[in-house]
Amino acid sequence: MKRAVHAEFPDYSLRYTHPHLCDTGTKQTSGYFELPNGKNFFFWFFESNADPADDPTLLWINGGPGCSSMMGLFMGIGPCHVNTRGDGLLLNSHSWNQVANVIYLDQPVNSGYSYQENNTAAHIGDSNTAAQDVYVFLQLFFKEFSQFSESDFHIAGESYAGHFLPAIATVITEKNAETPHAPIQLKSLLIGNGLTDPLQQYKYYKSMACEKSAYGTLVSSSEKCNEIELHQNECQKLIESCYKNSNITTSSSFFTQKSADTCLLASKVCNALVVRPILDGMKLNMYDIREKCQNGPLCYDYLDAVKTYLDRPEVKNALGVRSSVSFELCTPSVNMDFQISGDWMRPYVNQIPPLLNSNISVLAYAGDADFMCNWMGVRAWTINVPWNGHLKYNQQEDIDWYSNAIVAGTIISSESLTFLRLFNAGHMAPYDQPQVTLDMFSRWISGKILQNDDHQLFF
């Protein structure tokens, strides 16, 4: 194992090796970002299959909070999938590594392979605090692997990453302007089926459940739909109170006890009275309403195979993971820390306008078969977010978006902000539509998301 330090962050270090798992002929790096108080964040980095020196670099963050970014690697955009037995890997022909260098980071601590040696140390419970650690990780990473430090940099993720990504981007832009640290070349955010603006997004659970869609109607009882609407109105008032007591604009926004109390109450009531009754009644995969819920974690049997593979001793050894560390797909205690702090309902959408106004582009994409962070709610927050291009964005119409000469979704785009609805995809859109989402990513990072004449790329 090699170790790297940074003079400006003397209490932090990187410890890493170069594994050959999922060997596609390009260089890999995996290991730990070591923090004070015995915290250790696992990361796995794959260089681009095309041109590592010139291709952009992407940081992938999964949600939860508390879910491992190895889910994004093996259930979406990574160079390999796990076989059904969990004892080997299969190449993914639609890996985003075809066009970018990709870092997968397990954060906050205790997610995935990440762990904390000192259990008495304070736990992280909000996305702003979590983002500070990610920023230091990036500083150490780009110092040690300086050949990528001048590359265009993008951050992407799913679900609760709708909180994490604006917070991380806000830290980066503030530090780039304020400090002598090497600037990080942040260009964009890609938020997949993300929870970014609960006030807008929670309005659409009733619509998603009770209105007819291409996938049918989830709740057919008009009486139950009326009951959901009543609870949804109550829910909106509680989220408004949370927003009023949670001023999130900068990376150093401080959350009072009143913020924690009002936001936790909103989370408890809204999830118990609006979301849970719908889920209990529909008996489907909440992340993909086209399918029934399977027996595995998060309704996917495949994730059992992923956990089996990542708990294999030879895999841990190759990645530089201690044998005593157990891999966790999603860690309930991390989720609980964020819930108790009130972070779930806070308006991290307030960090989006300064990013858009400083020409950091945002792509909010949404598989339209997801119930939990459904496309209606994602579209709504992009329409309501108050930035300099707000009026022009709202004048745009939803138009067909093509991939491989097929209508694969609809798109609204103006200047720095884009919303893309992806057809026939759920919460983990790259898992359901790997070819389409690679096309999306390739065109996004090259500034061609609206160009529909590039279909030949994947013929």
Kindly list the catalytic residues.
Answer: 159, 370, 427
Cβ-in-10-Å burial (0-12, 13-18, 19+) of 323 comes to exposed
Question: Which residues 6+ apart lie within 8 Å of 56 measured at CB?
Answer: 99, 100, 101, 151, 152, 153, 154, 187, 445
